[in-house]
Each structure stands twice: as structure tokens, then as C-alpha cells.
Amino acid sequence: MCILTSLETKRSHILIAIDAMGGDFAPVNVIAGTIDALRETSNRFEVVLVGSGDKLMKETQKYKGEELRYCIQEASQVIDMHDPATAGIKQKRDSSISVGITMHKEGNADAFVSAGHSGAVLSTATLILGRLEGIGRPTIGTFLPTERGVCLLLDAGANVDCKPQHLYEFALMGSIYSSEMFQIKNPSIGLLNIGEEESKGNDVVKEAHKLLSKSKLNFIGNVEGRDILPGKSDVVVCDGFIGNVILKFGESIPSFFKGRIKRIASKNIFMKVFSGLVRNTLREALKSMDYEEYGGVPVLGVNGVVIIGHGKSTPKAIKNMLLRAEEMVRKNINGRIQEALTIEK
């Protein structure tokens, strides 16, 4: 472990800056997840823990003696959940989020990941890193389990009002992401709507339907709420209001069923005996709905690699966020998006 005294580093490895103060269990889970990622990959990449030097030094003591490639970058402030999304570029410019994203902007990190204030990460990343050329609105994608695997839903909450062009851009970025990161050939794109017919929906989706139909994307038309879980399309495009509601509704399903099954089991002696079995089955069935498997969700459309994690991120989730960020850098997702935009023109 080293402590960065200057933002300049000489490096041959991919280097990921992580918000060590972000999330409900920071810095403990962030550091534990970082250690796991480095151990598991035999130091395939480097990590800079951004945050309070004192706190991070103390927590990393637990792991001393191990040859792991991580450093600490001091940041004196922390953006908490009560701060506005603009805090990173206004009141708290020395926050772990702002410092980490600035490192990335200046080329001192190849990616930035955070389980902290997602609105602040999005705003700070958009303002400091800027947008990719040809992209009007950066978006947050999220993953939903399907009967066929997983689908990428975007926007998951970054943009509450969208124009048709934005939905088209989300589709293009989602297509590239799914194809590169999930190895899905020519991913199918569905436009979330309230009916299959192109005449359905509000003006924005009707116009987006036209744009997508004219594009070179594998657009399969409208998909409905009932088509998401069966996996009718690899990518589901919608505005951030509805995407956020669906995402959070989906996240609440496991605990709803757990509670319900517990109540059913408690009413029946036979069921009580086997409730462990039922619970285990359910746990496995629900596993794919668990954010921790995916680790985090990408911010697409900014000029950089940024991953946002759940506030309750476990070490496993943090580890997966780092692995995902490394993969996005290696696969040059942003380069692919720019190429696709050029082809579409």
C-alpha cells in the first residue's frame, strides 16, 4: 500500500479511483471489497481509495502485510445523503466524489466508482468529465433479471423528463454496453410502452418509436411492463422517472415474498418443519434480483468510466463494481459508443 502525495502516478496497470467514504458502510465495506478484488485478481489492477486519510489508514491496518496494489488519496469532505446533488461542484469540492472524479478527468485514474450519493456522482461526473460527443444526456443503466438472463434498463433515474432523441441515445448506449459487457450479439432493444402498437403511449414515446425504427439498432418495437421479466428484449429504454420506479419496485419484491412466505409457514406445522427448505429455494430464486451480484450500475454518456453502487453495498458488491469498472476500461466502451454514433449518422 502507498499513500499518494501527488496526483501524478506512473503506471502500467489500469487504475480505479474509488469513493472510500461512499455508502452506508463506508469505509469498512469499501476497503474490504477492494481487498477482495485485488486478492482475487492477483493485483491485476490498482485502486486508489479516496477519502479521509486518517480513517482509511486506520481501516487498512487490518490488511497490512499483504502486497496489494492500493493507495490512499486524501479528500477532506464527504457528501452525505442530505446534500444536494450539486454539492460536488459547489459546497464540497474537496469531497471524495469530487476528488476521485477529478483524478479520472486528469488522467490519474481510468475509472471512478462510488456507492455514495448517486445524484452527486452523476452531476459531478457530468460537469467535470463532460458528455461524450453526440450524447445529449448521460444516463444510468440498471440490470433486471429475466427468464433468459438479464436485461439492461435505461434510464434508471438520471433524467425525469426525456426527449425522443434522448431515448434513442439511451438505446444506442445500451446496445453497445450489452453487446460488449454481456457478449450479446446485436442486442434487441425494446421501448417501454403501454401497448405493442406504435400508436400507443404519449408523444415522446411515439416519436422515439420513429427514431428507433429508422436507426440501425436491433429495435423490436414497444415492450410492456409484463415483457421485462420474461426477457423479451435485451435492452429496455424508458425515461428516468418510470425507470426509477420500476427499479425500486423490483428491488422491493424479494422482501415482500420473504415476509409472505414466513407468514404462510408460521400457520402450518408441516410447513414450519420445511420452511428452511422453502426459504432456501426462494433465496436462490430471488438471487438474480439482488443488486450485489451486479455490483453497481454504469453511468453512460459521460466522458469517462463511472459506476454507481447501492448505498448498502456489501464487500462483494464493491468488489464486483471494481471488476466491472476494469472491464469497461479494458473494453473501451466509450470508444465503441463513439464509433456507433458515427455509423448511425
- Binding positions for a second copy, rule: CB under 8 A: 147, 157, 160-161, 192, 194, 201-203, 224-230, 238, 240-242, 244-253, 255-257, 259-261, 264-265, 271, 274, 277-278, 281-282, 284-285, 288
Smallest gap from Cβ 137 to a second copy, in A, equals 14
Reading the block at residue 91, the C-alpha cell is: 459546497
Residue 240 or 304: the one with the smaller Cβ distance to a second copy is: 240
Residue 227 or 292: the one with the smaller Cβ distance to a second copy is: 227
Smallest gap from Cβ 80 to a second copy, in A, equals 14
Give Cα 230 distance to the centre of its chain. Answer: 22
Asked if residue 124 lies in contact with residue 88, where contact means CB atoms within 8 angstroms, the answer is yes
Smallest gap from Cβ 25 to a second copy, in A, equals 19
Per residue, the 3-state secondary structure of 219-286, as one string, reads: EEEEECHHHCCCCCCCEEECCHHHHHHHHHHHHHHHHHHHHHHHHHHHCCHHHHHHHHHHHHHHHHHH
Smallest gap from Cβ 98 to a second copy, in A, equals 22
Q: Which residues touch 284 (CB under 8 Å, ≥6 apart)? A: none
Give Cα 93 distance to the centre of its chain. Answer: 23
Residue 182 or 257: the one with the smaller Cβ distance to a second copy is: 257
Reading the block at residue 244, the C-alpha cell is: 426509477
Residue 210 or 274: the one with the smaller Cβ distance to a second copy is: 274
Residue 30 or 236: the one with the smaller Cβ distance to a second copy is: 236
Asked if residue 37 lies in contact with residue 29, where contact means CB atoms within 8 angstroms, the answer is no
Residue 100 or 164: the one with the smaller Cβ distance to a second copy is: 164
Residue 126 or 244: the one with the smaller Cβ distance to a second copy is: 244
Smallest gap from Cβ 284 to a second copy, in A, equals 5
Which of 227, 144, 152 has its CA nearest to residue 192?
227
Asked if residue 14 lies in contact with residue 330, where contact means CB atoms within 8 angstroms, the answer is yes
CA dihedral 341, 201, 145, 271 (to 10 degrees): 180
**E strands within 23-62?**
46-51
Question: CA–CA separation, 146 vs 96, rounded Å?
Answer: 35
CA dihedral 30, 31, 36, 37 (to 10 degrees): 70
Residue 123 or 334: the one with the smaller Cβ distance to a second copy is: 123
